Amino acid sequence: MVCVGMTAGLTGCFSTTRIVQKTQAPPVYQTAGVAEVEKQVSGRDEAIKTLNAQVLVTATTGGSNEGEEKEYTSFKGYIFVQKPAQMRLILQLPFIGSRAMDMVTDGNDFTLMMASRTGDKWVQGSNKVTTPSKNGLENLRPDVFLDSLLIPGVKPEEYVSLTETSRIIAEETRHHDAVLEPVYELTISRLKSGHTLRRERVLHISRVSMLPYQQDIYDDNGQIVTQATYENYTMYGDMQFPALITIKRPVDEYSLKVQVTKLTLNETFEADQFKLEIPPGVTVRKLQ
């Protein structure tokens, strides 16, 4: 009885009450096994053969290493994709409308033109960075766009696992509780050696819509090199596609916000859509 009395006294006199955010579960959400989630992810990937998007791209550079961030002027542009790995990205100079950047890849190598006051600069190199630059934007390769815009399906040689967790979606007003949304995390790995798996990607999938809202892409050392988020899913024809994609590169300390203003899927391109001819006599910088 003495101990009970002491406990009651302590809890009454020495406790502190804090207000925390109230949450509620969504009224309806879905349940699926790992095989079904994998099938849905791969099915969405297979359904898209080509992509023709008008976009608004905003770049931000800097972070904790530099102690500051810098956001650049948004560029209007176009992104063309034809699977398995052809892509072209064209960005236009504000007000003028001429090309600020034109990048083409065949899936292995890329060619890049960048406008400057002293004349266009041309760059060529491999899609894979072998010698990272201290300038994070110089490590930007077409695969960053390809893997972020069109979430790849699961390949036959890859392994998958599924876990359940949740995320809090804050309401815009204080008059409603935040939503504690159940989510799936689909981890996609590849056999490294023996019994060791190397994690390649993790897809974060809403159990309300069963659509990915985030993708984490890892390097060989298990470090996140690309983190893409997907918002404002919109119907384009008979398919849903995110109208806002944010691509973060935490190691290189830059991010790209891609706002889709118009999108056409699975149209046929002209034969020269993915050709970028280098003018004769210009100097071409080679990137490793």
pLDDT tens string, the chain, 288 residues long: the values are 555 555 555 555 677 887 766 777 788 899 999 999 999 999 999 999 999 999 999 999 887 777 778 888 899 999 999 999 999 999 998 878 789 999 999 999 999 998 888 888 999 988 887 766 666 666 778 888 888 999 999 999 999 999 999 998 876 655 667 888 999 999 999 999 888 999 999 999 999 999 999 999 999 999 999 999 999 999 999 999 999 999 999 988 899 999 999 999 999 999 899 999 999 988 998 876
* CATH for the 32-269 domain, from 3.50.50.60, 2.50.20.10, 3.40.50.720, 1.10.287.70: 2.50.20.10
Rounded to 10 degrees, what is the CA torsion of 60, 66, 67, 72? -20
Residue 33 CA to residue 265 CA, distance in Å, equals: 29
Residue 141 CA to residue 64 CA, distance in Å, equals: 23
The domain spans of the chain are 32-269
Q: What angle do CA 5, 6, 12 make, to 5 degrees?
A: 90
Q: What is the pTM of this model?
A: 0.87
Residue 204 CA to residue 185 CA, distance in Å, equals: 5
Distant-in-sequence, close-in-space partners of 127: CB < 8 Å, separation ≥ 6:
105, 107, 108, 109, 110, 141, 142, 143
